[in-house]
């Protein structure tokens, strides 16, 4: 096993993971109605290819990609499409998003599977094309369509694969459980990704606080006899599992701020994404379910559940024995980056890695905000090497130019600055609010550039047409004069 160097900044936090990893992985009970938002991945929303009243089978495609950065969506059950209408979505804090609603007939009739037991016979390009139809997106939380990254990495020479099993955020344990119980899926997924890229090395990064997962993975690697796959352990620091952070820790290189990891030839995927790849290729099972950690002091029996997409959160809570009387707030995601859910009638989507039913014991009370004393704690813990105290100043003054210079867009919103701030300033929240403003300004500049070239093209065209007309007129006059003389 390779040892790796540490991560810059970050925090050592209590993991709070034992509660949910005490019991083996279970399957969540399938609900009667499933709600599948069409925009549950990053990029353009998917476009439905079924209509209300249609009968659908388990694993049948129900929506196709709506753009170059988009993903397929498949039915997680067999049943009938009841409606396609806006429904509250967890990605928008409960605001409605266009969703396909399916009534489950509990028969689980499968769509003709498209399994490819011997993927080695396919060319890398054919395999990538097959992977695209699996609807697989990054399951770490960013839900970026997997094939888009895969194609970008394949265009580089000598790409490398990095499977990210560094689940550094407190409370979340779905990847830990996956690696413990389905290590062979992760390793098969690694082999498939290596083949699809024509790559020679794959590193699976795990946290040093996950000995069971590391053991399971190394025995799975031994069984598969694939020397290209290695396991690396990463120190348990939050946010060592961020995509850029894990690349720096494992490879010792920093991804340039204005480039994506694929541009330096690294395909970084979550271990759960690799396991989803394995299931799609080996069993023909598209991404229709995922492992969700249900934990916190507000739920009776914390556990990891394999839930079908579209299952309401309330049904997961019921599977875990219901709420305790101490339950105060529902959070989707981990304790650092998670977002509060307004109620529990929201569906599980591809991005749902964890649901925390938090009690007062889980939540740190936030005192009133005080002025910044410029202690600099925030810049010491910032893993993105930014100066949060300075950004805070520019956010207050809405100085977009300075925010651009000081790299607001490179903030990964990990919340470390927030956590250490003695003045209790909600820094990460402020930065998150300011990013769209900055993005709009950037887009404004880009559209202004397009308008400028449009005007220039039009001015040139009008001048050319006028010159042509004048020349034609002159020719005609000359012809008349020639005739007269």
Partner 1 sequence: MLPALLTMVGLAAAAGVAAALAARRSERDRSRLVDEIDALLPQTQCGRCTFTGCRPYATALANGEADINQCPPGGHATAAALAKLLGREPRPVDPRFGNVPTQPLVAVIDEGACIGCVKCIQACPVDAIVGASKFMHTVIAAQCTGCELCIPPCPVDCIVMRPVPAAELRPGPYSVVRETTHALEM
Burial of 33 (0-12, 13-18, 19+ CB in 10 A): middle
């019921």: which residue's tokens? Answer: 318
Among 239, 298, 312, 338, binds partner 1 (CB under 8 A): 239
By the 10 Å C-beta count (0-12 exposed, 13-18 middle, 19+ buried), 314 is classed as: middle
The stretch near partner 1 (CB under 8 A) out of 9-17, 77-85, 300-308, 443-451 is 443-451
Report cis status (omega within 30 of 0) of the bond before 239.
yes
Our CB check for partner 1 shows the closer of 198 and 426 to be 426
DSSP 347: B
Interface of this chain with partner 1, residues 291 to 310, rule: CB under 8 A: none
* 144 lines the binding site for partner 1 (CB under 8 A): yes
CA distances 144 to 68, 141, 148, 246, 306, Å, are 12, 8, 8, 17, 21
Closer of 154 and 416 to partner 1 (Cβ):
416
> Binder to partner 1 among 159, 242, 296, 302 (CB under 8 A)?
242
The DSSP code for 254 is P
As to burial, measured by CB atoms within 10 angstroms (0-12 exposed, 13-18 middle, 19+ buried), residue 424 is middle
List the structure tokens of 482.
């020639």
Q: Which of residues 249-268 bind partner 1 (CB under 8 A)?
A: 258, 260, 268
Of residues 354, 188, 349, 197, the one with CA closest to residue 274: 188
DSSP 410-429: G-----HHHHH-TT---HHH
Q: Quick one: 222 or 468, whose CB is closer to partner 1?
A: 468
The CB-of-32 to partner 1 minimum distance in angstroms stands at: 31
* Cβ at position 367, least distance to partner 1 in Å: 26
Choose the stretch contacting partner 1; rule: CB under 8 A; options: 141-149, 274-282, 298-306, 374-382: 141-149
List the one residue out of 406, 347, 353 whose CA is nearest residue 382.
Answer: 406
Binder among 85, 155, 385, 450 for partner 1 (CB under 8 A) = 450
Partners of 361 in the β-ladder: none
Name the minimum Å distance from CB 105 to partner 1.
34
Judged by beta carbon, residue 30 or residue 242, the one nearer partner 1 is 242
**Quick one: which of 194, 196, 197, 203 has its CA closest to 157?**
197
Among 95, 253, 457, 472, binds partner 1 (CB under 8 A): 457
The answer to whether the beta carbons of residues 166 and 274 sit under 8 Å apart is no
Residues from 399 through 428 that contact partner 1 (CB under 8 A): 409-410, 412-414
> Which parts of 330-389 interact with partner 1 (CB under 8 A)?
337, 353
Please tell me whether residue 96 binds partner 1 under the rule CB under 8 A.
no
Binding pattern for the stretch 4-23 against partner 1, x by CB under 8 A and - elsewhere: --------------------
For partner 1, the binding residue among 360, 375, 385, 443 (CB under 8 A) is 443
Instruction: Select 370 or 451, whichever has its Cβ closest to partner 1.
Output: 451
Judged by beta carbon, residue 244 or residue 282, the one nearer partner 1 is 244
**Contacts by 251-255, CB closer than 8 A, 24 or more apart:** 251/160, 251/162, 252/5
Q: Which is nearer to partner 1, 66 or 284 (CB)?
A: 66
Contacts to partner 1 by CB under 8 A: 42, 68-69, 138, 140-142, 144, 164, 166-169, 172, 175, 239, 241-244, 258, 260, 268, 270, 337, 353, 409-410, 412-414, 435, 439-440, 442-444, 446-452, 454-455, 457-458
């Amino acid at each position: 096993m390779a040892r790796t160097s540490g991560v810059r900044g970050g925090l050592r936090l209590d993991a709070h993971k034992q509660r949910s990893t005490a019991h083996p992985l279970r399957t969540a009970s399938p609900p009667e109605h499933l709600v599948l938002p069409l925009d549950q991945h990053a990029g353009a929303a998917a476009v439905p290819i079924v209509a209300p009243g249609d009968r659908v089978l388990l694993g049948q495609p129900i929506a196709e990609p709506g753009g170059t950065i988009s993903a397929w969506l498949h039915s997680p059950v067999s049943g009938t499409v009841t409606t396609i209408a806006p429904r509250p979505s967890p990605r928008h804090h409960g605001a409605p998003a266009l969703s396909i609603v399916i009534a489950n007939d509990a028969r689980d009739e499968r769509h003709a599977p498209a399994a490819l037991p011997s993927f080695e016979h396919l060319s890398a390009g054919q395999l990538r094309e097959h992977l695209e139809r699996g609807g697989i997106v990054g399951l770490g939380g960013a839900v970026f369509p997997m094939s888009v990254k895969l194609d970008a990495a394949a265009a580089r020479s000598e790409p490398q694969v990095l499977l990210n099993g560094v689940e550094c955020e407190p409370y979340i344990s779905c990847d830990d459980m996956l690696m413990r119980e389905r290590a062979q899926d992760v390793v098969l997924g690694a082999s498939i990704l290596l083949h699809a890229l024509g790559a020679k090395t794959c590193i699976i990064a795990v946290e040093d606080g996950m000995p069971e997962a590391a053991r399971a993975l190394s025995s799975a690697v031994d069984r598969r006899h694939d020397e290209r796959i290695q396991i690396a352990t990463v120190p348990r620091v939050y946010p060592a599992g961020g995509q850029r952070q894990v690349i720096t820790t494992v490879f010792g290189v920093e991804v340039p701020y204005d480039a994506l990891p694929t541009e330096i030839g690294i395909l970084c995927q979550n271990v759960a994404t690799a396991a989803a790849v394995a299931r799609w290729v080996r069993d023909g099972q598209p991404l229709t379910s995922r492992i969700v950690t249900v934990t916190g002091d507000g739920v009776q029996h914390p556990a990891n559940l394999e839930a079908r997409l579209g299952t309401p959160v309330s049904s997961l809570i019921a599977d875990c024995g219901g709420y305790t009387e101490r339950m105060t707030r529902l959070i989707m995601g981990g304790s650092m980056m998670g977002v509060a859910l307004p109620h529990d009638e929201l569906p599980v989507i591809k991005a749902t890695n964890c649901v925390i039913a938090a009690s007062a014991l889980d939540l740190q009370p936030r005192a009133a905000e005080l002025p910044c004393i410029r202690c600099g704690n925030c810049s010491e813990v910032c893993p993105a090497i930014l100066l949060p105290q300075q950004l805070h100043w520019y956010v207050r003054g809405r100085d977009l130019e300075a925010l651009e210079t000081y790299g607001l867009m490179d903030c990964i919103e990990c919340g470390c600055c927030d956590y250490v701030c003695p003045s209790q300033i909600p820094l990460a929240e402020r930065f998150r609010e300011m990013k769209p403003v900055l993005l709009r300004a950037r887009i404004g500049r880009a559209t202004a550039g397009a308008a400028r070239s449009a005007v220039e093209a039009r001015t040139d065209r009008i001048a050319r047409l006028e010159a042509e007309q004048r020349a034609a007129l002159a020719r005609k006059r000359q012809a008349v004069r020639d005739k007269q003389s």
